[in-house]
Amino acid sequence: MSTAVAAPRSGATIRTLLEGAAFREAVSKALPTHLTPDRFIRVACTTLMRTPKLAQCDQSSFFNALLTLSQLGIEPDGRRAHLIPFDNRKRNCTEVQLIIDYKGLVELAQRSGTVSNIHADVVCDGDIFEYDRGELKRHLIDFRKPRGGVYAVYALARFKDGTEKCEVMTREDVEGIRKRSRAGNNGPWVTDWSEMAKKTVFRRLSKWLTLSPEFRDAVDHDDDVPQVSSAGPERTLVETVPFEIPPQADDGKSNDDESTEAAAGPAPSRKPEDAPPINSAQEQLAAIVTGSGFTFDDWRDWALADGHLEKKHAEIPGFDLVPDSVCVRLIRAKAGMIGELGKRKTGV
C-alpha cells in the first residue's frame, strides 16, 4: 500500500522550510559526525531571528548557503560563519552572502592534521613588533596602556614538525581587499573589522599551506571575495538545493511574515539553550547604528566631532576597536545618538 506525501504548500516561508523534514534529511546527509541536524537547524533558526532581513531573501540562496556550511561542518553562528543579506540589483532580489569567518577557516585548517597552532593578530602603534625576512621575531603588547591605531595584521602557522610560516599585511593592504569585497560595507567588515583583517591575512597565508579539500572548498564558497571590476561578469547562483522549494508568493508582501515576527521577539521558551547571543558592547552598538541605516564611517565622524571619541581613535576602522565605556554610554543614549546622526547626515 503506497503512502501519499502531502505537497508543500505554495509560498512556504524560509522558517517553515528550515524546520521541515526535507531540509533536515538533506542536512543529515551532509553533516560530519561532530554536528547533529538538530543543533545545526537550531543555530540557523537563531540566525534567522537575529537578522530579520534574511527572511525576505531568495530562498534558494539561503538554503544553498546553509547546505554549503553543512558540507563543511561549520555552523552559521555569527562566529565561524555569517549569513549576510545582499541586494542584487541585477536580479532585483535580496540574496544571501555566505562569509566564512577567520575562526571558521582556522577550525578547518586544524582538521587537516598538519598544523599544530594558528595565531593571528592586529599590530598597533603602541606594540613592539619585529618581522624580518619572513620570520616573526616578536610581538609584545602592553595591555596597561592604549594600543593606538592599527597599522598591520599578521597570521602565523606552526606545524607539527616545529617549523613556522608567517604572513604580514599592512592596514592599507587589508583596506584594499575590503573595498573590493562585495560585503565590504556591511556585516562583519563593519562590526568586526579586526576579525575580518585576520581572516584576510590568514587566507593569504593559506596559499603556502597544505590543507584539506574542505578548507579549499570553504575559500571557494566564501562570498567575501574581491570584485575584479564592477563591469565584470555577475556571479550566478548555483541551484543545488536537493529538496523542493515551493514557488514564492508574488503579491507585493513578504511571504515570511511569521519569520519576521519571530525575529522581532521570540518567546524565551523557543530560544535554544546554545543560541549565540550578541555579547559585546561593540556588537550591540554596531547593530543599533547599522540597523538605523548608518555606516561605521558616519558614526565615527560624528563621534569624533561630538567629543565621544578622542583624536587617537580617528583611524580605527571598525566598531570592534571602540572603547567599552564609549559603547555602553551611547547604547544607553541610543535615541539621541541616532537623532544626531540623522541631523548630521541630512545637514539639518
pLDDT band at 293 (very low <50, low <70, confident <90, very high): confident
pLDDT, tens digit, 9 for 90 and up, residues 90-118: 888 888 888 888 788 888 877 777 788 89
> What are the boundaries of each domain within the chain?
8-99+215-276, 113-210, 281-346
| pLDDT at site 97 | 86
Average pLDDT, the chain: 78
| pLDDT at site 5 | 33
Query: Mean pLDDT across the stretch 187-212?
Result: 84
Would you say residue 252 has pLDDT above 50?
A: no
| pLDDT at site 225 | 57
pLDDT, tens digit, 9 for 90 and up, residues 319-347: 888 888 888 888 888 888 888 888 887 76
Q: What percent of the chain is predicted at pLDDT more than 70? A: 78
Query: Mean pLDDT across the stretch 119-128?
Result: 95
Query: Mean pLDDT across the stretch 283-293?
Result: 80
| pLDDT at site 197 | 93
Mean pLDDT check: name the lowest of 26-35, 124-133, 248-257, 299-308: 248-257
Would you say residue 43 has pLDDT above 80?
A: yes
Instruction: Give the helix ranges, DSSP H, for 101-192.
Output: 102-111, 171-180, 188-191
Neighbours of 186 (CB within 10 A): 16
Beta strands in the chain (DSSP E): 81-88, 93-100, 115-124, 128-132, 135-140, 150-159, 164-170
pLDDT band at 176 (very low <50, low <70, confident <90, very high): very high
Amino acid at position 158, single letter: R
**Cα separation, 82 vs 65, whole angstroms:** 10
**Any long-range contacts for 126-135 (C-beta under 8 Å, 24+ apart)?**
131/166, 131/168, 134/165, 134/166, 135/164, 135/166
Would you say residue 128 has pLDDT above 90?
A: yes
| pLDDT at site 3 | 36
Mean pLDDT check: name the lowest of 80-84, 190-194, 284-288: 284-288
Instruction: Give the helix ranges, DSSP H, for 73-192.
Output: 102-111, 171-180, 188-191
| pLDDT at site 345 | 73
pLDDT band at 224 (very low <50, low <70, confident <90, very high): low
150 contacts 123 by C-beta, under 8 angstroms: yes
More confident residue, 134 or 10: 134
Would you say residue 258 has pLDDT above 70?
A: no
Number of residues that make up the chain:
348
Burial of 211 per CB tally in 10 Å (0-12, 13-18, 19+): buried
Angle (deg, nearest 10), helices 324-332 and 281-291: 50
Query: Which residues, 6 or more positions from 190, have their beta carbon under 8 angstroms from its beta carbon?
Result: 286, 290, 295, 296, 318, 319
Neighbours of 234 (CB within 10 A): 8
